[in-house]
Amino acid sequence: MNQPWNLKNHTDLTHLLLLGFPSTRKLEVLLFVIFSLIYTLTLLANFLIILTVGLDWHLHKPMYFFISNLAFLEVWYTTVVTPKMLAGLLTHSKSISVTSCIIQLYFFFSLGSTECLLLAAMAFDRYLAICNPLRYAMILNSEVCCKLASTCWLVGFLTMLFPVTLMFRLSFCGPSVLNHFFCDADPLLRLSCTDTKIIELINFILAVAIVISSFSLTMVSYFYIILTILSISSATGRQKAFSTCTSHLLIVSLFYVTVSVMYVRPSARYSVEMDKMVSMWYAIVTPLINPFIYTLRNRDVKDALRHMLTGKTHCRFQ
């Protein structure tokens, strides 16, 4: 609950200070090196996935189409947050305008919403592949895949337009320090000197709607997948069928656990430092882990990567 400020006696803030991770100079340099390495590896790993899927026609299938969409999203997801954080660690340039802060928040949460929907679309893909294999290629053709992915991106970015528009109408009067390493919604709204209860309610409803609905669709898909796998008489067949889902299930678990802890919860105040750690996990670490999960557990992707690196890529025009 914000304090009842007297709007006639305050000066609107135009810039904020992202507090980040307060520490000594030596520790800041160490954090800069670590996060720079993570960011570089994240970009390389995800771009490698995109390039591999694009070049190898063996991977021109719905499953890998959605994987490349997820990889593209992860590049932007971490880029929205990491460069500004690195600049603060290296140069102490922690200032950010209120407008830039809200724009960063918009892109971060829009990409997060899109990821929820893409994960649900990937679960639907696995449902069709395992539960309806004979009609899989006909139902989930390239046109349908493009429309499904486009819908995920469109809905993800449209969802946050209304609450962000309301945020631009808020007045911020201090303190000028935002205790986070990026512009998260809750710490930003605490700096407002106008009533934010409506925006907080809208944000909570949207978070619940996006996270719960996409998670429910994912779980329903896997409910039918598991029933189908259990009906397979061969143990080898069951293992082969389930192996195509394990990477996606692991990524779903990592994503939804951290996001639910952060955003699908009552308004009670949690530890700020704990929030930072959880945010760092899903905003910086997870985008690096995801491509390795897919490559390490997927023989097709590993074979395609090996062929590409040895100059034997199976391009369609060879």
| Cα–Cα distance measured from residue 94 to residue 177, given in angstroms and rounded to the nearest whole number | 10
Question: Are 112 and 81 within 8 A, CB to CB?
Answer: no
Q: Is the dihedral of CA 290, 294, 295, 301 positive or negative?
A: negative
Which residues, at least 6 apart from 143, have a Cβ–Cβ distance to it below 8 Å?
none
pLDDT at residue 317 above 70? no
pLDDT at residue 266 above 60? no
Name which of 134-148, 233-247, 258-272 the model is least confident about: 258-272
Question: Are 84 and 18 within 8 A, CB to CB?
Answer: yes
pLDDT of 185-199, one tens digit each?
888 888 888 888 999
| Cα–Cα distance measured from residue 99 to residue 170, given in angstroms and rounded to the nearest whole number | 11
Helical segments of 132-167, H only: 133-139, 142-159, 161-167
> 14-309 has which CATH code?
1.20.1070.10
CB atoms inside a 10 Å sphere around CB 31: 18
pLDDT at residue 200 above 70? yes
Can you give the pLDDT at residue 21? 79
In this prediction, residue 118 has a pLDDT band, given cuts at 50, 70 and 90, of: very high
Question: Are 188 and 208 within 8 A, CB to CB?
Answer: no
pLDDT at residue 312 above 70? no
Task: Give the pTM.
Answer: 0.86
Can you give the pLDDT at residue 158? 94
pLDDT at residue 6 above 70? no
Enumerate the β-bridge partners of residue 18: 178
Can you give the pLDDT at residue 9? 45
pLDDT at residue 8 above 90? no
Question: Regarding predicted confidence, which is higher, 161 or 295?
Answer: 161
Phi first, then psi, for residue 185 (nearest 5°) are: -65, -50
* Percent of all residues in the chain with a pLDDT value above 90, rounded to a whole number: 37
**pLDDT, mean over the chain:** 84
